[in-house]
Amino acid sequence: MPRDPVKLAVFHRAHTLGLGVYRLTRRLPDEERYGLSAQLRRAALSVPTNIVEGCARVSRREYQRFLEVALGSATEVRYLLGVVVDLGYLKSDNVAGCRECSDHVVRELRNLLKAVSRFPP
């Protein structure tokens, strides 16, 4: 049964998170280009990418696995946003939008995973 990620609200929010993180990381110091900036970008884009890839999978178990990876990446983004603030690279106000978005994505993915676990195999 093919799934359409565009029909999932969490996909759109994850896409927004990816775009927001890309904009935010432009403001990090050049010395972090291959460090925090690259890691944040990879993690942020991993969320919608894994949702899309999971939707293309046939089995419920594979779909679930990709959603679990997306959830892991979303929590990684949330943590790394805190690191950026703790290191003094950006102020808490600057990352607030991305933090809030990542919190929503984490909640929505957890809810989606609960729903998917009830699907027949």
Measured distance CA(105)–CA(121) in Å, rounded: 25
Cβ-based burial of 61 (10 A; exposed 0-12, middle 13-18, buried ≥19) = exposed
Output the pLDDT for position 103: 97
Cβ-based burial of 94 (10 A; exposed 0-12, middle 13-18, buried ≥19) = middle
pTM: 0.93
Percent composition of the chain: helix, strand, coil (DSSP 3-state, to 5): 80, 0, 20
- Would you tell me how many other CB atoms lie within 10 Å of the CB of residue 110? 14
- Domain boundaries along the sequence of the chain: 5-117
In CATH terms, the superfamily for domain 5-117 is: 23S rRNA-intervening sequence (1.20.1440.60)
Predicted confidence pLDDT, tens digits, the chain (121 residues) = 568 999 999 999 999 999 999 999 999 999 999 999 999 999 999 999 999 999 999 899 999 999 999 999 999 999 999 999 999 999 999 999 999 999 999 999 999 999 999 987 6
Question: Who's near 82: CB < 8 A, 6+ residues apart?
Answer: 99
Output the pLDDT for position 120: 78
